[in-house]
Amino acid sequence: MAESARRGRGGGGAARRAERSAVSFETAKYIERNIPNFEILTEEALQIIETNAEIVLEEVGVNFLDNPAAIQRWRDAGAEIDGERVRIPRGLARKLCATAPSQYTQHARNPARNVVVGGNNLVLAPVYGPPFVRDAVGGRRYATMDDFNKFVKLGYMSKWLHHSGGTVCEPTDIPVNKRHLDMLYAHMTLSDKPFMGSVTEPSRAQDSVDMCKILFGEEFVRDNTVMTSLININSPMTFDDVMMGALEVYAQNNQACIISPFIVGGAMAPVSVAGTLTQVLAETLAGIAYSQLIRPGAPVIMGAFVTSIDMNSGAPTFGTPEAAHITYGAGQLARRLGLPYRSAGSFCGSKLPDAQAAYETANSLNMGLLSGVNFMLHACGWLEGGLVSSFEKFVMDADQLGTLHHLARGVEVDENAQAMGAIREVGPGGHYLGCEHTQNNFKSAFWKSDLLDYKPFETWEDEGARDTQALATLRVEKMLADYQAPALDPAIREKLDAFVAQKKSAEPDSFM
Amino acid sequence: MAESARRGRGGGGAARRAERSAVSFETAKYIERNIPNFEILTEEALQIIETNAEIVLEEVGVNFLDNPAAIQRWRDAGAEIDGERVRIPRGLARKLCATAPSQYTQHARNPARNVVVGGNNLVLAPVYGPPFVRDAVGGRRYATMDDFNKFVKLGYMSKWLHHSGGTVCEPTDIPVNKRHLDMLYAHMTLSDKPFMGSVTEPSRAQDSVDMCKILFGEEFVRDNTVMTSLININSPMTFDDVMMGALEVYAQNNQACIISPFIVGGAMAPVSVAGTLTQVLAETLAGIAYSQLIRPGAPVIMGAFVTSIDMNSGAPTFGTPEAAHITYGAGQLARRLGLPYRSAGSFCGSKLPDAQAAYETANSLNMGLLSGVNFMLHACGWLEGGLVSSFEKFVMDADQLGTLHHLARGVEVDENAQAMGAIREVGPGGHYLGCEHTQNNFKSAFWKSDLLDYKPFETWEDEGARDTQALATLRVEKMLADYQAPALDPAIREKLDAFVAQKKSAEPDSFM
């Protein structure tokens, strides 16, 4: 935990006083890879998949449901229309995608926390979407707004997490038609990291934009990207009006969207890797092309959320080799399109933050780094196939994200790193612990977990023989006790309060 | 568990009868990678490290302790000798290494279980060396021969494990000077997978060779490699007479050795990755060159056992990014030498088979596959920094090794894999579960754990809400209950019995 000077946007004496008294928590810069990507597909395989995706778009096409304006846009762009079916001539979707930027900056209200999405970068954001939460004390239960706020606080305090995320859990105690307001308010006030907007209705996307205008200033939002939001495709090949309506709002406002198939392999896509990649590419080409029909140059991320399936139970499975194949391959396809790429995460099927959860998560996090992912949603806290946000697993995974940062640094070979002086000094049979090179370098040489157990056996036993989950329970408690909110101009907070109150009073509660 | 016809070596009617009644357990073929290796070092970095390693050998040199014959061999080969210090002129070690084969076959007594070490292959062997064992029922305790036998049985029954290993735990209830006989006897009789020989005294290496002559036939052992044994270098830069004596026995008999630095970074090597790689290369060049001075063409593996260190506690740390950097880099160095490569494993520092253990292990297993490791010792069962062989973790890790097999298959792009018929058939909004392509391919499409939990939440809860360790405890019990020994010619068994009895009676017990 380190205090650091920060400059918020907006101002006034009260804001400055609030800033001076606030503690800031250290956050690592987003990962800038200094290592190559792992390229699993040959040039021939890539060409086959790219050709097949174009054939799928032209001959099978995609559906844009309940969205006459979208159909008209596609017609005007040269697609062949048959009811809600849009068949896209070969090359058209790829050509439309060319106006999407290869990278963009998402601004945070604390400029030190801005992230650049694309290129060699990797931005890490927490779990998104679970209706349940779990912790060792309270067990598994429906998520509430109180849980949501806690996850935002943990994310704010997590050193290796660059992004506050979006629906870190579903606050089921708040009406469906109003919870987006509370969620955005939490991200805006409890954290100063970048965040995501609502996508559950076009009007809620507009509310998200409007709240950002309060937080960042109207002019700033007009000129800059301040949200990255998640637009799922209904695989196979279907774009519904709700998600597309939200995409339209965001693209019109120059706000970024992840356009992402949501695929359980064997159910929503072919049971083969090459077939799934073909569908992923066709779907993302169509979705991203559509974003560029709304506004050429609108920032987008090519997404691929893909799991395998246990054909006995029908359960989705995570951290599996086939998901890794797809993630590696989709990364190559995204780079050839020149687009930022979203995939991977702290995926697991386990009900508990146990060894299964950790194997599956580590498999996924590692391949996420090596596949060239630029934006990793669900990077910590995911449990039970995405049904549960786990407090313990949130801090466990967030700690492991440090390994990705250090791996991505690559290998230095400057004179200091070569350490020839140390090798000469120590010689055969000697010991490096005391030598000058070790003393000069040990502090930054090795990544060190802030959570895991490295103690001698006897100490560990005396302290209660705690497993990782037990250590994580303590960590969660301590972090929430230590939490201090980042400073925020009271005038801005008042305007946000007023906006939320006005919106909430404007329509009756709905839990549908 | 599948019955399969097998042909053992040696024969006779009794052998054939024993074979017909025996059950065999399915073992996957060693991994043949159809994916690229991950190359973290640039050509420039590789050249710097290779040049520096030659400088170290020439200017600093290595120590061969208490071994006048080795010193003489080095003198004859052109090294500069100063007492026990051997300084090797630039290029000499590399030139000597050129006679070592780029790959070799290690024969098993069941020829279907032979392994080819080198090239694109990856052979997986279990944990080696821990003095303690742990399971959920009995806790942590000194290992016994009974534990040893159980681990050999589990290894024999583990589908994704190709090799029976060596000292799967230290049977501390057997005298130190006799336990190698019981360990080899266990590998030879309880399993039919390939195994490792003793390295704790040259005479015990000779016993290992002699027992192999009984098992395989004298002529067969003369002409073939039937053991791969572990020769550790005393890093930094020291080769002791015990290990070198064992190496001499094995090399003379054309049996394979892993020649491997054992490095806790910052203590036995520089605290930097490039410095450690330089030392690893210098040490293995010297050790492998020495094996070729004993017998040109003797099969060897270039090893790199490297961990980082927690500079606060001095504890070695596992599954860390710096260990991954070194493992990736050493793989590149081994390939440039044209030698098989040993590294990685189920490494972890955790005291329990919990989430920490699984994160660290998965990190290490994944980088082991991608770094081009050819022989992975410790691929399952390692716990607590190598102090403990864990029964539960053995089966947990062994299950995860299946992910490496499937990852290594790479991505098929033949017509069936392209699945264009399925994409056309299902179309936008459809479902793939019922389509013909899915029905034809689902059985082999996805890797499936035999251990982890994929059940619906309610079922899992009704069954006791078990974590991975609890599932593994049951798995261990079931496997040991189901175990059946592979058939062995009774005449061979009698000769092994007689050899072990004669050797045991020939000298007094020693527990030193």
Q: What is the pTM of this model?
A: 0.95
Mutation target among A354, A366, A449, A459 for the B interface, most CBs of B within 10 A = A354
% of chain A surpassing 90 pLDDT: 92
Q: How far apart are CA B57 and CA B87, in angstroms?
A: 6
Give the model's confidence band at A7: pLDDT under 50 very low, under 70 low, under 90 confident, else very high: very low
- Residue B447 in this model has a pLDDT that exceeds 70: yes
- What is residue B413's DSSP assignment? -
Looking at the complex, report in whole angstroms how far the Cα of residue A319 sits from the nearest Cα belonging to chain B. Answer: 9
- Residue A413 in this model has a pLDDT that exceeds 90: yes
Q: Which residue on chain A is closest to B469 by alpha carbon?
A: A355
- Residue A5 in this model has a pLDDT that exceeds 50: no
Which member of B362, B418, B453 has the closest CB to residue A362?
A: B362
Contact A356 B361 (CB under 8 A): no
DSSP letters spanning A343-388: ---S----SSSSHHHHHHHHHHHHHHHHTT-SEETT-S-EEGGGTE
Say what angle helices B273-294 and B321-337 make with each other, to 10 degrees: 40
Which positions in chain A touch B238 (Cβ < 8 Å)? 428-429
| Burial tier of A467 (Cβ tally within 10 Å: 0-12, 13-18, 19+) | buried
Residue pair A411/B39 in contact by the 8 Å Cβ criterion? no
Give the model's confidence band at B214: pLDDT under 50 very low, under 70 low, under 90 confident, else very high: very high
Per-residue pLDDT tens over the stretch A28-44? 999 999 999 999 999 99
Residue written as token pair 């270039």: B302
Residues facing residue A312 across a β-bridge: none
Task: Tell me which residues of chain B, numbers 358 to 377, contact chain A at a CB-CB cutoff of 8 Å.
Answer: 358-363, 366-367, 370
What is the predicted pLDDT for the residue at B38?
98
Residue pair A301/A258 in contact by the 8 Å Cβ criterion? yes
Residue written as token pair 């849980």: A147
Contact B406 A321 (CB under 8 A): yes
Residue pair A198/A170 in contact by the 8 Å Cβ criterion? no
Type of residue numbered A231? I
- Residue A283 in this model has a pLDDT that exceeds 60: yes
Rounded alpha-carbon distances, angstroms, from residue B130 to B218, B224, B384, B480: 32, 30, 9, 21
- What is residue A487's DSSP assignment? P
- Residue A282 in this model has a pLDDT that exceeds 70: yes
- Say which range, B12-21, B261-270, B397-406, B442-451, has the weakest mean pLDDT: B12-21
Residue pair A503/A178 in contact by the 8 Å Cβ criterion? yes
Token duo for residue A145: 């707004």
Phi-psi region of B66 (alpha: psi -120 to 50; beta: other; left: phi over 0): left
Range B42-48 average pLDDT: 98
What is the predicted pLDDT for the residue at A3?
35
What is the predicted pLDDT for the residue at A113?
98
Q: How far apart are CA A336 and CA A339, in angstroms?
A: 8
What is the predicted pLDDT for the residue at A15?
52
What is the predicted pLDDT for the residue at B3?
35
Q: How far apart are CA A42 and CA A36, in angstroms?
A: 16
What is the predicted pLDDT for the residue at A512?
75
What is the predicted pLDDT for the residue at A4?
39
Range B32-51 average pLDDT: 98
% of chain A surpassing 70 pLDDT: 95
- Residue A492 in this model has a pLDDT that exceeds 90: yes
Per-residue pLDDT tens over the stretch A244-278? 999 999 999 999 999 999 999 899 999 999 999 99
- Residue B401 in this model has a pLDDT that exceeds 90: yes
What is the predicted pLDDT for the residue at A10?
44
Range A85-90 average pLDDT: 98
Per-residue pLDDT tens over the stretch A432-480? 999 999 999 998 889 999 999 999 999 999 999 999 999 999 999 999 9
% of chain B surpassing 90 pLDDT: 92
Minimal CA–CA distance to A279: which of A291, A289, A270?
A270
Per-residue pLDDT tens over the stretch B218-230? 999 999 999 999 9
Give the model's confidence band at B10: pLDDT under 50 very low, under 70 low, under 90 confident, else very high: very low
What ipTM was predicted for this assembly? 0.95
Quote the distance between the C-alpha of residue A498 and its chain's center: 29
Per-residue pLDDT tens over the stretch B252-264? 999 999 999 999 9
Phi, psi at B204, each rounded to 5°: -75, -30
Phi-psi region of A452 (alpha: psi -120 to 50; beta: other; left: phi over 0): beta
Contact A267 B349 (CB under 8 A): no
- Residue A12 in this model has a pLDDT that exceeds 90: no
Give the model's confidence band at A153: pLDDT under 50 very low, under 70 low, under 90 confident, else very high: very high
Per-residue pLDDT tens over the stretch B232-242? 999 999 999 99
Q: Calculate ∠ Cα B191-B194-B196, nearest 5°.
A: 105
Per-residue pLDDT tens over the stretch A336-350? 999 999 999 999 999
What is the predicted pLDDT for the residue at B15?
52
Mutation target among A347, A441, A467 for the B interface, most CBs of B within 10 A = A467
Rounded alpha-carbon distances, angstroms, from residue B221 to B86, B198, B217, B255: 33, 16, 6, 9
Looking at the complex, report in whole angstroms how far the Cα of residue B2 sits from the nearest Cα belonging to chain A. Answer: 20
Residue pair B158/B120 in contact by the 8 Å Cβ criterion? no
Contacts of A113 (CB under 8 A, 6+ apart): A27, A162, A192, A193, A194
Minimal CA–CA distance to B217: which of B301, B141, B107?
B107
Give the model's confidence band at B8: pLDDT under 50 very low, under 70 low, under 90 confident, else very high: very low
Give the model's confidence band at B313: pLDDT under 50 very low, under 70 low, under 90 confident, else very high: confident
Mutation target among A44, A49, A140, A272 for the B interface, most CBs of B within 10 A = A272
Looking at the complex, report in whole angstroms how far the Cα of residue B99 sits from the nearest Cα belonging to chain A. Answer: 26
Task: Tell me which residues of chain A, numbers 167 to 226, contact chain B at a CB-CB cutoff of 8 Å.
Answer: none
Mutation target among A285, A437, A446, A461 for the B interface, most CBs of B within 10 A = A446
A270 at interface of B, judged by CB pairs closer than 8 A: yes
Which member of A271, A422, A452 has the closest CB to residue B275?
A: A422
A331 at interface of B, judged by CB pairs closer than 8 A: no
Contact B420 A275 (CB under 8 A): yes
Q: How far apart are CA A309 and CA B448, in angstroms?
A: 9
B270 at interface of A, judged by CB pairs closer than 8 A: yes
Minimal CA–CA distance to A233: which of A303, A299, A336?
A303
Which member of B271, B315, B445 has the closest CB to residue A437?
A: B271
Mean pLDDT of chain A: 95
